[in-house]
Amino acid sequence: MNETEIHKPVLLKEVLEWLPAEEGKIIVDGTLGPGGHTEAFLKRGATVYAFEWNEDTLMIARERLKPYGKRVKIFPLSFTHIREVLDAEGLRADGVLLDLGLSSFLLEQSGRGFSFQRDEPLDMRMSDELKLTASDILNRLPERELVRIFKRGEVPRARALARVICERRKKCRIETTSDLVQLVRDLYRPTPPKEKDLLAVVFQAIRIEVNRELENLETALKEIPEILKPYGRFAVISFHSLEDRLVKNAFKSDERLIVLTKKPITPLPEEIKLNPRARSAKMRVAERRKDQ
């Protein structure tokens, strides 16, 4: 089974209801992934400018979207480059989507250590352009920096975890997902199902640091409203409270935008049944004011 067969774009029905993707519209997909949302926009008739900075996922998306020819332009860049690219193209968008979740490919087939359920090298880089891997961070950063990373990621007992990591790496490097999983188990001694939740939070906190995810999101939230047409829409799908809080506050405080979703849009039970990974998804949508 290939990635396009197992990939299920999250909140697809709702995204198509909120973003104008009919013929003649310009949509920016800032997180192309394997191309599920972009393909849906193209089927509606839109022209899509898509951004993806994971090299392997990019290859999958390019192959999938070949039939749509010049109506899709794909850039091997992160969404922090959206404004730069659209300014260079002299364009403004009718809609922008950021889906901040990890694709099934990255979790299950990339071999980069995103999942605690596989024994893989602790890499966690979305792109090879990034210098520091997760292993580098765990083995090199001073204890105070590890505390900062885990506190920001809302990891319980952040100081204790940082201390244990620093003690462990004196004896041997922390190289694989299994090394980290065992370290967490030894410290917390969690019981199922709490163990999965705890491991997910720890891995997430490290991944956020490796890829500078929150800093990149803050940049996008400031810059993307500038490339929207009047009444253009900006939708963000987040998967944890750190992201959702940033989106909520940015939309609310930005004078260029009108918030269209007072509460986040969440998946229906039918979608969660078909795609359990969608259960934590939250989508917020804002619209560019005419006079800003």
* Interval 18-29 mean pLDDT: 97
- Placement of tokens 């480059």 in the chain: 81
- Placement of tokens 């299994």 in the chain: 178
β-pairing, 228-238 vs 282-288, is antiparallel
β-pairing, 282-288 vs 257-259, is antiparallel
What homologous superfamily is domain 110-212 in, according to CATH?
Answer: Putative methyltransferase TM0872, insert domain (1.10.150.170)
123 three-class SS: coil
Check residue 118 and report its DSSP letter.
Answer: S
Tens of pLDDT along 69-115?
A: 999 999 999 999 999 999 999 999 999 999 999 888 888 888 999 99
Closest CA to 246 of 274, 289, 282: 282
- Give the ranges where 224-278 is alpha helix by DSSP (H): 241-253, 269-274
**Any idea how long the chain is?**
292
Mean of all residue pLDDT scores within the chain: 95
Find out whether 29 and 46 touch, Cβ atoms under 8 Å: no
Q: Would you kindly state where each structural domain of the chain is located, as residue ranges?
A: 3-105+214-288, 110-212
The pLDDT, as a whole number, for residue 4 is 44
The whole model's pTM is what? 0.94
Rounded CA-CA distance 273/268 in Å is 9
Find out whether 37 and 62 touch, Cβ atoms under 8 Å: no
Lowest-pLDDT range of 16-20, 102-106, 221-225? 102-106
Find out whether 237 and 217 touch, Cβ atoms under 8 Å: no
The pLDDT, as a whole number, for residue 7 is 65
Tens of pLDDT along 226-278?
A: 999 999 999 999 999 999 999 999 999 999 999 999 999 999 999 999 999 89
Fold: same for 3-105+214-288 and 110-212:
no
Domain 3-105+214-288 has CATH 3.40.50.2300: no
Q: Which two tokens stand for residue 197?
A: 């939740």
